[in-house]
Each structure stands twice: as structure tokens, then as C-alpha cells.
Amino acid sequence: MPSLLLQTTDIDSFRSRSAQLDGVSFQSITPSGITLAALLELACSWWMWTQNAANAPSQVVASWGMHLTDIRHANALLVDGAEVQKRCAPFDAPRKELWCIRSRDDWCGDPATLFQARFRRSLEQRGFGKKLSIALSKAMQEMADNVVQHSGRDDAHPARGLVGYHIEERWMTYAVADVGRGILASLRTNPRWGSLLSSEGALRASICQHASRRIDAPYGAGFSQVQKSLADLNGKLRFRSGDACLTLAGYRDARRVILSSSPHLLGFQLAVTCSLDGEDQPRPL
């Protein structure tokens, strides 16, 4: 049976063919591992399929979950808010961790503050230095806060979301994903961006032009914070929403913008990866 490291491109591919799974060999795949970004996008896909009673892809994901506990954990966390894995102690510095957002309190209460501190501590302990660790954790906090602020019809009713990080020595990635209204619907609530017609346009407006759904705000600050946090590091940033994906790769001023299509998925998903040594190979959780 083929075995592979599941990445976001595989999840895209799986989603695009999920409607005709009979003719596809996804059932026979035994995943050897999964990246954090792929894990969160798979969890969002799984949530969408369970909502639509799409049994065939759900069964494939369930079978993958037999091999990889991370898949089971993420799905259970997003769908039921269930903690499958042992929760970290307040002052740990774990290599990887997932967090679920289902309400405002889930992101601004004390447990969430401790999760954010663990992320910062993990970065510091794995070679990122205090200043950079703070910058990266603030950026992650901003991105996760967007789930509360923008994914639902208002900030009192956010959509479900997941936040996760995976840190190795001098390498890190964090990801945020939700199953909410997506960036296009969110931005279009601001008349200034009401003429946007595509998720691709909405991604470009948000990330490259700092568009905000807030009518009184001159600009959105969150995505600038992410770019600022990476400073001169070699980073890869993936943002996807609706049927579009925007990737930024490389070093600060020379970071390339690549827009592509991505099979439809609810909400907004992002992943930020960087290495202090410039290496950009995907790593399994």
C-alpha cells in the first residue's frame, strides 16, 4: 500500500476528488505522517463532509485516523471540542499542541493565555531567542484572534476553529483554521470591499493591501504583523479560503506571491512556517 507524508497539496487533491472516491485510490493510502497545515485543513474538510453527510471521504479520513492519532485528535477537537490527547501542563514547552476555539472565551481566557505562553516558551527553548519568539507568538495570537473577530456573523458567535503549532530545533510552523464564512464574505460586509467577487481577490486584498472588514478602520493590521514577525527569515506563508490559495515564500522584500485555486472549503485556513537555517522542507508532526 502506498505510504506518504500528507501535505496540503494532498488534502487539496483529496478534496477535489472526494465526490468520486470510488475511482480513486485514496482508500488504499497509509499515511506515514501529516504536516500541521495539512492536519488542520483535513480537519476542516472532515467537518464539512460530516455536515454534508458525505460518507465516503469521511470513512477514508477515519481510516487514516487509525494510523495517525493526530488526525483523530484534530477531528475530535474541531467537531466535538473533545480533548483526545493529554492536555499540557501550564508551564510546559511542548513540541506540538492544538487548541480549539468555539467562543470568545476560548481565546482570551487564562487557559488560552497559557497556551500562547507555551508556544512562546517552546520557541525560545528551540533556538528562536526571546525577541523573535515574542514576535512570532504575537503574530500567531493575531491570526487566531481573527477566528473570533471575523469567522462568524459577529464576534460573539465565532465559527469553530483550531490553532496549532509544531516546533523543532530552529524550525517552526503554526497554523490556524476555521470553518466559518470565509474571507470573501467577511470582507464584503464592508461596503468598501463590497465589489469583491472572488476569494482570490479577497485574499489578495487582505494580505497584500491590508483590507479590513471594519468600516472605521483604515487598514487591517493582522497580516502585517505576521510578515513583520518573520523579519528577515526565510518563511513560507499559506493562506486559503473558499476556492483560492495565496502563498508567500522567500525572504522579506523578495517574498513571492503565488495565487492558485484550491478545491472549495469553508472558512479560512493559514499556516506560517520558517526555519532559522533557511531550510523549507515540510516536516511531519
Question: Which amino acid, one-letter code, is at 108?
Answer: C
Binding status of residue 110 toward another protein by CB under 8 A = no
Residue 116 or 275 with smaller CB distance to another protein: 116
Packing angle, helices 130-150 and 222-230, rounded to 10:
160
- Which of 104, 255, 264, 283 is the binder for another protein (CB under 8 A)? 104
Burial of 243 (0-12, 13-18, 19+ CB in 10 A): middle
Instruction: Choose among 245, 221, 238: nearest CA to 273.
Output: 238
Instruction: List Cα–Cα distances, 144 to 162, 212, 254, in angstroms.
Output: 8, 16, 26
- Least separation in angstroms between CB 253 and another protein: 19
**Piece of 14-22, 80-88, 216-224, 266-274 that binds another protein (CB under 8 A):** 216-224
Look up residue 153 and give its three cell numbers. Answer: 456573523
Binding status of residue 82 toward another protein by CB under 8 A = no
Q: What are phi and psi of 255, to 5 degrees?
A: -65, 125
Residue 21 or 112 with smaller CB distance to another protein: 112
> CB within 8 A of 7, min separation 6: which ones?
34, 35, 37, 38, 282
- Least separation in angstroms between CB 269 and another protein: 18
Residue 14 or 223 with smaller CB distance to another protein: 223
Give the C-alpha separation, 167 to 274, whole Å: 10
Binding status of residue 224 toward another protein by CB under 8 A = yes
**Piece of 1-9, 56-64, 221-229, 235-243 that binds another protein (CB under 8 A):** 221-229
161 Rama class: left (phi>0) / alpha (psi -120 to 50) / beta: beta
- Least separation in angstroms between CB 194 and another protein: 15
**Piece of 2-10, 39-47, 101-109, 159-167 that binds another protein (CB under 8 A):** 101-109
31 Rama class: left (phi>0) / alpha (psi -120 to 50) / beta: beta
Q: Which of residues 134-173 bind another protein (CB under 8 A)?
A: 134, 137-138, 141-142, 144-145, 148-149, 154-156
Binding status of residue 120 toward another protein by CB under 8 A = yes
Q: Which residues are near another protein by CB under 8 A?
A: 104, 107-108, 116, 120, 134, 137-138, 141-142, 144-145, 148-149, 154-156, 215-219, 221-222, 224-225
